[in-house]
Amino acid sequence: MLTHLDARNRPAMVDVGGKAVTRRSALASAVVSLPPALARLVTANEIQSKKGPLFQTAILAGVMGAKKTSELIPLCHPLPLDDCQIAIEAGLPDQTGAVDVTIQCRASTHARTGVEMEALTGATIAALTLYDMGKAVSHGIEIRDVRLLEKTGGKRDWRAGEEMGHPPSPKLRRGQQKAPRSQMKGR
């Protein structure tokens, strides 16, 4: 049953007033495929441009997006984020020279409702920022695999893959701090 519909099948915000305030966190990811022309510009896990460093700008945009989730998604409750960390890592080039960039966003709060939408929004806005800043080189950038990897707090914890018997191995785990840029893998 969908929770955002009232008895007459109309959109309605979920009443969370009776729920307990608990610590909640969520980890989401997105993959951005950079075509060869743009992938060639990746150096030390960053792309420098006239607009500034793409990955660093995407990190800031992702955090800002996560903070504004309730303004973008109509029935989301506004949540005060305790923390929002975004990690961006470029993979190795494939046989064509294209590179997949993995974005992960971990958001946390103490609230009556979960923070999954904030984590998903943060990862998505960071991906869209990479597209916006990279489109001057190529419009062949592809954003895919936006998904929730885990959520904790509330009634139950959840991790992607547990239904199938194989939990994911996210790069940014709960309680783990984002590695300094000098320690992140790059090309």
Query: What is the per-residue pLDDT for 176?
Result: 39
Query: What is the per-residue pLDDT for 96?
Result: 95
Query: What is the per-residue pLDDT for 101?
Result: 97
Confidence of residue 74 (pLDDT cuts 50, 70, 90): confident
Q: What is the mean pLDDT of residues 77-96?
A: 95
For a pLDDT cut of 90, what percent of the chain falls above it? 61
- The contacts of residue 77 (CB under 8 Å, 6+ apart) are 13, 14, 16, 70, 111, 112, 113
Catalytic residues: 132
Q: Which amino acid is residue 34, in one-letter code?
A: L
Query: What is the per-residue pLDDT for 46?
Result: 87
* Helix pair 54-67, 116-134: axis angle to 10 deg: 150
Q: Six-digit token pair at 176?
A: 């783990």
Q: How far is CA 79 from CA 24, 66, 103, 184, in A?
A: 11, 10, 22, 30
Q: Distance of alpha carbon 11 from its chain centroid, rounded? A: 26
Measured in residues, the chain has a length of 187
Query: What is the per-residue pLDDT for 64?
Result: 98
Q: What is the mean pLDDT of residues 111-125?
A: 95
Q: Element (H or E) spanning 53, and its range? A: strand 52-53
52-53 and 48-49: which strand pairing?
antiparallel
Q: What is the pLDDT of residues 2-44, one digit of tens each?
A: 566 666 767 667 767 677 889 999 999 999 999 999 999 988 8
* Contact between 129 and 57 (Cβ < 8 Å): yes
Report the SS3 class of residue 134. helix
Q: What is the pLDDT of residues 146-175, one digit of tens each?
A: 999 999 998 889 999 876 655 554 555 444
| Structural domains for the chain | 29-152 (3.30.70.640)
The answer on pLDDT for 88 being more than 80 is yes
The model's pTM: 0.82
Residue with tokens 């609230």: 111
**What dihedral do alpha carbons 148, 124, 85, 97 form, nearest 10°?**
100
Query: What is the per-residue pLDDT for 16?
Result: 72
* Contact between 96 and 34 (Cβ < 8 Å): no
* More confidently predicted of 48 and 175: 48
